[in-house]
């Protein structure tokens, strides 16, 4: 079924990609109407799809999509009813197209009468604040921020412009940059887990959390503030749901972490790292740049730049695969 809310002209899509310096080639008429994007299997005759994996060749040959983002080398596999949109990176174009058809909602600028805002809090223009939100002393909310329902913003929190805070989040002692997204149920800036091992004397965590620009944090994540300095999440980091980041951790720019990862205190994750789901990383370690850590790995020592590791304890993935083969042959 077509949804007129998602109806776009092809020429508008071309302009959208042109603004991002992406060249697309297609014979589709400029005024051709498109109604969103879907998978090869489920796209209808008015939708766009994309082809990025040769494992989906059978689906490609049978797709009912009106058009398909595709590399030039695979165009001959398309059915005649599907127009190729030739691009260098179909998956990137797919990602951008989802944002083209389904842009994030903009702030209404409305502040619920059921919210509680401290007199010393600073609220900029065009901020949306939902029901039963609490904003405490010494907080600064920048323009175009959306704060959904039941959010608690404790003292000393700054939220940069165009950021989004989902339902039921709790923030304290945290600085959040521009264009960030924190999904429902996440707790950021809470006290860390620290005490003397024998006497069990708790260590008061008096630091904070600093989150850079364009950071995405999934649902039900916890990021503890540092004991003295800062827990740091740099620009363009992506965190999946259900991640625990302990006090004093630093995650460097452009890193991606999948669900249920736990990172113990004072560990540094380098730039452009990818960490698979349910991996565990011990405290006080240094993980280099461009490191890949397989799912369910246990990292117990420093990792050099550009390594791919797996297993417990985590080792070079080539050695790990050899060990698995030996184990299976026994």
- Nearest-angstrom CA–CA distance, 145 and 169: 14
The CATH number of whichever domain residue 253 belongs to comes to 2.160.10.10
Ramachandran assignment for 64, one of left (phi > 0), alpha (psi -120 to 50 degrees), beta (any other): alpha
pLDDT in tens, 71-86: 999 999 999 999 999 9
Query: How many domains in the chain?
Result: 2
* 179, 298: one domain: yes
**Pair 85, 177 in one domain:** no
Q: Is residue 122 part of a domain?
A: no
Can you give the residue range of the structural domain that contains 36? 4-101
Residue 97 domain-assigned? yes
pLDDT for 1 equals: 43
pLDDT digits (tens, 9 = 90+) for 261-271: 999 999 999 99
112 assigned to some structural domain: no
Known catalytic residues? 247
Nearest CA to 288 out of 277, 297, 298, 299 is that of 299
CATH number of residue 71's parent domain:
3.40.1390.10
Residue-wise pLDDT for 209-260, tens only, equals: 999 999 999 999 999 999 999 999 999 999 999 999 999 999 999 999 999 9
Q: What is the pLDDT of residue 4?
A: 52
Q: pLDDT of 139-161, one tens digit each? A: 999 999 999 999 999 999 999 99
Final residue before a domain boundary, out of 83, 101, 119? 101
Please tell me whether residues 195 and 81 are part of one structural domain: no
Pair (90, 188) in one structural domain: no
Write the DSSP symbol of residue 54.
G
Question: Residue 5: which pLDDT band, with cuts at 50, 70 and 90?
Answer: low
């Amino acid at each position: 079924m077509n949804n007129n809310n998602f109806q776009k002209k092809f020429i508008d899509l071309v302009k959208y990609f042109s603004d991002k310096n992406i060249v697309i080639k297609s014979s589709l008429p400029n005024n051709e109407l498109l109604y969103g994007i879907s998978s090869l299997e489920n796209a209808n005759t008015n939708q766009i799809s994309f082809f990025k994996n040769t494992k989906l060749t059978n689906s490609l040959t049978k797709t009912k999509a009106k058009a398909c983002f595709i590399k030039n080398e695979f165009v001959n596999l398309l059915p005649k009813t599907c127009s190729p949109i030739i691009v260098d990176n179909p998956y990137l174009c797919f990602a951008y197209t989802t944002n083209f058809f389904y842009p994030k909602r903009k702030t209404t600028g409305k502040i619920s009468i059921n919210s509680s805002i401290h007199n010393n809090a600073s609220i900029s223009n065009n901020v949306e604040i939902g029901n039963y939100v609490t904003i405490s002393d010494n907080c600064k909310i920048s323009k175009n921020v959306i704060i959904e329902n039941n959010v608690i913003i404790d003292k000393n929190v700054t939220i940069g412009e165009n950021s989004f805070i989902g339902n039921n989040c709790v923030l304290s002692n945290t600085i959040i940059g521009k264009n960030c997204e924190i999904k429902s149920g996440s707790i950021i800036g809470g006290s860390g887990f620290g005490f003397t091992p024998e006497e069990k004397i708790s260590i008061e965590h008096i630091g904070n959390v600093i989150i850079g620009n364009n950071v995405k944090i999934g649902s039900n994540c916890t990021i503890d503030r540092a004991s003295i300095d800062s827990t740091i999440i740099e620009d363009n980091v992506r965190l999946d749901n259900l991640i625990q980041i302990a006090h004093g951790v630093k995650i460097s720019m452009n890193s991606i972490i999948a669900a249920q990862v736990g990172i113990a205190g004072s560990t540094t994750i380098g730039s452009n790292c990818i960490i698979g789901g349910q991996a565990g990383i011990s405290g006080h370690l240094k993980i280099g740049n461009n490191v890949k850590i397989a799912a369910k790995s246990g990292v117990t020592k420093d990792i050099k730049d550009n390594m791919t590791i797996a297993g417990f304890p985590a080792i070079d993935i080539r050695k790990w695969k050899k060990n698995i083969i030996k184990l299976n042959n026994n």
